[in-house]
């Protein structure tokens, strides 16, 4: 027990970060499962975080209500953004969502209500570790059940072949928008929880590198099953600490190791780390193939 | 008349792919659509299934105008199809492909699943049994757990038919269903088509294998350069001078 509390006093914030990153990776997993490559999920997290943070600091809204509001506002923005941009496919959708992410970041830097470049401060630190992991379990349960519902099969069909999916009676616009909205909701929830973890959030935390990191979690972990992104987020978030443990402390070498791991996974485990635990023969199903990059 | 195609025209930019195409597909028949490469057969099937739209003209399915419908609405009216360049879901297994094809007829609601209601598992078992029966029917019963991308060419064609059948269509559009198949496989597909028609399904098929078409179809429409040359029984079509010309070239009477 004493060892456990010692562990938490040292690594508590790491455990929290792993949880938040896992939630964010799960949000991207939803969009990827419907074949849509979104780089906007970090921005949705930002929208959720700022919404919840503003509500608790300026309006005294209870913590739980602010989480719900943050997630709902992010979902609403995701829905409104999804309708026009989901006409785009593959890298074009990635570009559009990436620009959206920049718009959100720049807005957060320049608006008064978001606290500008210094960030939004003064959030009560209500987000507890057990609550983060409770949410992860909830989201994983939801996604595992979703997979074998009509919605999940429609996502799979659209990812595999959108034209064939529509010929089978699947309203592709509806389901793509749904995937985008669910993803934005989860990202918004994660962002809102993150805002109440650390007293402060800044615009830079929800920028381009955050968006790309989420994608890397999904690629490294595997984007075909719900536990892949969780695995990827856990490994890559803990990696700097693991490296510190084996004596690698300098900055640039970490990025090098990050890149190396990504490269090894893409080359040898195209379905991500989850393929180490799976026996099913499903080659060529990497996230890159599923969004149409590298198709002939 | 189950399907009435009336004066369908389709331009791709300045290229006229179809011009004033009209013919009807009788309910419960096998209707063949033949013509040389580039005649516009696949374009017509794409328009019928709502994948592309016609530049002008109209389509009636049971007296309902469908030419403006997107693909998923056409499918909801009981039209299923296969594709010339097979479009399966490659990483899903054969069984999963058919399950995905059940979208319109086998609702799998999320809420009872989240609550782990007892009825869900029984319902799912029924749906899976139906999918499995269709796989067995097209002769892929022993391939249920194979990813579609690992099937042979002929098996993939048959799996596409199975996936189309999963939505229990009234009208089945088959785009070259036996292309690249061995003779025994082809005979199997012919037998399958006959049994589907006996059950009341209507089938419109594109095929280059003349023996297959002549044997199965009660009516045949011949397209050439985007226009209908003729529609008629296999015997009539086989005797038609313009059809012979389109396929074999013009005979030189002055030689």
For residue B252, the model assigns a pLDDT of 66
Distance from CA of A32 to the nearest CA of B (A): 15
**Mean pLDDT on B22-29:** 95
Above 80 in pLDDT, residue A287? Answer: no
d(CA A166, CA B80): 10
d(CA A202, CA A204): 6
Above 50 in pLDDT, residue A286? Answer: no
Neighbouring residues of A116: CB distance < 8 A, sequence distance ≥ 6: A109, A110
Distance from CA of B239 to the nearest CA of A (A): 36
For residue B123, the model assigns a pLDDT of 92
**Mean pLDDT on B167-196:** 94
**Mean pLDDT on A7-18:** 86
Q: Report CB contact under 8 Å: A169, B167.
A: yes
**Mean pLDDT on B82-99:** 95
**Mean pLDDT on A76-89:** 92
Which residues of chain A neighbour B89 with C-beta distances below 8 Å?
Answer: 156-157, 160-161, 164
Q: How confident is the model at residue A279 (pLDDT cuts 50, 70, 90)?
A: low
pLDDT tens, position by position, A30-41: 999 999 999 999
Alpha helix segments (H runs only) across chain B: 41-48, 71-76, 94-101, 110-114, 118-137, 153-165, 183-198, 210-216, 234-239, 241-248
- CATH number for the region B1-78+169-249 comes to 3.40.50.300
Tell me the C-alpha to C-alpha distance, in Å, between residue A27 and each of A40, A42, A99, A237, B236.
Answer: 10, 10, 19, 16, 61
End-to-end Cα distance, chain B: 46
Q: Within 10 A of A116 (CB to CB), how many other CB atoms are there?
A: 14
Q: Which residue has the higher pLDDT, A273 or B83?
A: B83
Q: How confident is the model at residue B84 (pLDDT cuts 50, 70, 90)?
A: very high
Asked if residue A292 lies in contact with residue A90, where contact means CB atoms within 8 angstroms, the answer is yes
For residue A195, the model assigns a pLDDT of 95
Q: Range with the lowest mean pLDDT among A280-284, B70-74, B130-134?
A: A280-284
Look up tokens 């998923």; give the residue.
B72
Q: How confident is the model at residue B255 (pLDDT cuts 50, 70, 90)?
A: very low
Q: How confident is the model at residue A89 (pLDDT cuts 50, 70, 90)?
A: confident
For chain A, which residues make up each domain, given as ranges?
Answer: 15-290
Which residues of chain A neighbour B87 with C-beta distances below 8 Å?
Answer: 161, 163-164
Distance of alpha carbon A34 from the chain centroid: 15
Look up tokens 């007293």; give the residue.
A199
Q: Report CB contact under 8 Å: B90, A141.
A: no
Q: Which residue has the higher pLDDT, A285 or A264?
A: A264
Q: Torsion angle, CA of B161/A157/A145/A290, rounded to 10 degrees?
A: 140
Q: B109 in helix, strand or coil? A: coil
**Mean pLDDT on A250-272:** 82
- CATH number for the region A15-290 comes to 1.10.3470
Please tell me if residue A168 touches chain B, with a CB cutoff of 8 Å. Answer: yes
Look up tokens 């978001």; give the residue.
A114
pLDDT tens, position by position, B135-176: 999 999 999 999 999 999 999 999 999 999 999 999 999 999
Q: Which residue has the higher pLDDT, A28 or A242?
A: A28
How does the average pLDDT of chain A come out, rounded?
Answer: 89
Please tell me if residue A156 touches chain B, with a CB cutoff of 8 Å. Answer: yes
Q: Report CB contact under 8 Å: A167, B80.
A: yes
For residue A290, the model assigns a pLDDT of 44
Above 70 in pLDDT, residue A292? Answer: no
Above 70 in pLDDT, residue A85? Answer: yes
The DSSP call for residue B147 is: B
Which residues of chain B neighbour A141 with C-beta distances below 8 Å?
Answer: 114
For residue A10, the model assigns a pLDDT of 79
For residue A215, the model assigns a pLDDT of 93
**Mean pLDDT on A48-69:** 95
pTM: predicted TM-score of the whole model, two decimal places: 0.91
d(CA A229, CA A237): 12
d(CA B141, CA B155): 11
d(CA B7, CA A292): 37
For residue A250, the model assigns a pLDDT of 63
Q: How confident is the model at residue A137 (pLDDT cuts 50, 70, 90)?
A: very high
Above 60 in pLDDT, residue A284? Answer: no
Q: How confident is the model at residue B251 (pLDDT cuts 50, 70, 90)?
A: low
Phi, psi of B212, rounded to the nearest 5 degrees = -60, -50
**Mean pLDDT on B122-140:** 95
Q: Report CB contact under 8 Å: B104, A160.
A: no
This complex has an ipTM of 0.92
Above 90 in pLDDT, residue A245? Answer: no
Q: Torsion angle, CA of B22/B25/B31/B35, rounded to 10 degrees?
A: 10
For residue B186, the model assigns a pLDDT of 93
For chain B, which residues make up each domain, given as ranges?
Answer: 1-78+169-249, 91-166
For residue B150, the model assigns a pLDDT of 93
Distance from CA of A76 to the nearest CA of B (A): 21
Nearest to B91 among A165, A166, A282 (CB): A282
d(CA B200, CA B216): 15
Nearest to B51 among A163, A281, A284 (CB): A163
DSSP output for B77-98:
TTEEE--SS----TTSBHHHHH
Neighbouring residues of A132: CB distance < 8 A, sequence distance ≥ 6: A16, A19, A20, A23, A193
d(CA A11, CA A269): 29
Above 80 in pLDDT, residue A285? Answer: no
Look up tokens 């109440």; give the residue.
A196
Neighbouring residues of B63: CB distance < 8 A, sequence distance ≥ 6: none
d(CA B89, CA B149): 8
Q: Range with the lowest mean pLDDT among A25-34, A79-88, A173-182?
A: A79-88
Burial B2-29 (b: 16+ CB within 10 A, else e): bbbbeebbbeeeeebbbbebebbbeeeb
- Edge-first strand listing for the sheet containing B219-224: B79-81, B171-175, B202-206, B30-34, B219-224, B227-232
């Amino acid at each position: 027990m004493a060892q456990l509390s010692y562990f938490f006093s040292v690594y508590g914030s790491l455990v929290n970060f792993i949880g938040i990153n896992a939630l964010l990776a799960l949000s991207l997993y939803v969009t990827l499962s419907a074949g849509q490559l979104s780089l906007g999920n970090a921005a949705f997290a930002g929208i959720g975080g700022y919404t919840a943070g503003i509500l608790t600091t300026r309006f005294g809204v209870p913590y739980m209500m602010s989480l719900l509001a943050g997630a709902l506002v992010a979902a609403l923005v995701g829905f409104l953004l999804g309708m026009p941009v989901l006409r785009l496919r593959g890298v074009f959708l990635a570009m559009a969502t990436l620009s959206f992410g920049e718009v959100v970041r720049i807005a957060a830097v320049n608006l008064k209500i978001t606290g500008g470049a210094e960030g939004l401060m003064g959030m009560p630190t209500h987000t507890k570790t057990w609550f983060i992991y409770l949410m992860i379990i909830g989201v994983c349960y939801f996604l595992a059940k979703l997979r074998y519902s009509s919605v999940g099969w429609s996502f799979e069909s659209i990812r595999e072949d959108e034209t064939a999916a529509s010929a089978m009676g699947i309203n592709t616009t509806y389901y793509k928008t749904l995937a985008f909205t669910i993803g934005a909701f989860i990202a918004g929830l994660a962002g809102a929880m993150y805002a109440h973890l650390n007293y402060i959030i800044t615009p830079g935390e929800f920028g381009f590198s955050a968006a790309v990191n989420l994608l890397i979690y999904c690629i490294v972990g595997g984007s075909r099953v719900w536990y892949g992104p969780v695995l990827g987020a856990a490994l890559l978030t803990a990696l700097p600490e693991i490296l510190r443990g084996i004596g690698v402390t300098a900055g640039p070498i970490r990025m090098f190791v990050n890149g190396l791991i990504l490269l090894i996974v893409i080359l040898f485990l195209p379905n991500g780390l989850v393929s180490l635990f799976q026996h099913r023969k499903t080659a060529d199903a990497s996230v890159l193939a599923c969004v149409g990059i590298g198709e002939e | 008349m189950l399907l009435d195609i009336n004066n369908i025209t389709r331009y791709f930019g300045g290229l006229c792919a179809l011009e004033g195409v009209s013919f009807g597909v009788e309910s419960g028949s096998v209707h063949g659509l033949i013509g040389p490469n580039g005649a516009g057969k696949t374009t017509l099937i794409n328009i019928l299934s709502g994948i592309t739209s016609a530049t002008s003209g109209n389509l009636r399915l049971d007296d309902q105008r469908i030419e403006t419908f997107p693909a998923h609405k056409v499918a909801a009216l009981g039209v299923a199809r296969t594709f010339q360049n097979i479009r399966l879901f490659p990483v899903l297994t054969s069984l999963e492909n058919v399950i995905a094809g059940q979208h319109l007829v086998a609702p799998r609601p999320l809420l009872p699943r989240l609550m782990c209601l007892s009825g869900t598992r029984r319902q799912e078992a029924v749906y899976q049994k139906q999918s499995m029966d269709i796989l067995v029917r097209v002769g892929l019963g022993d391939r249920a757990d194979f990813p579609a991308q690992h099937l042979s060419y002929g098996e993939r064609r048959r799996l596409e038919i199975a996936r189309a059948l999963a939505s229990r269509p009234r009208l089945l559009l088959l785009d070259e269903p036996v292309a690249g198949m061995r003779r025994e496989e082809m005979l199997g597909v012919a037998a399958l088509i006959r049994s589907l028609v006996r059950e009341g399904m209507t089938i419109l098929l594109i095929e280059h294998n003349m023996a297959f078409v002549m044997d199965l179809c009660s009516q045949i429409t011949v397209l050439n350069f985007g226009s209908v040359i003729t529609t008629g029984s296999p015997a009539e079509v086989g005797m038609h001078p313009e059809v012979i010309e389109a396929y074999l070239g013009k005979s030189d009477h002055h030689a």
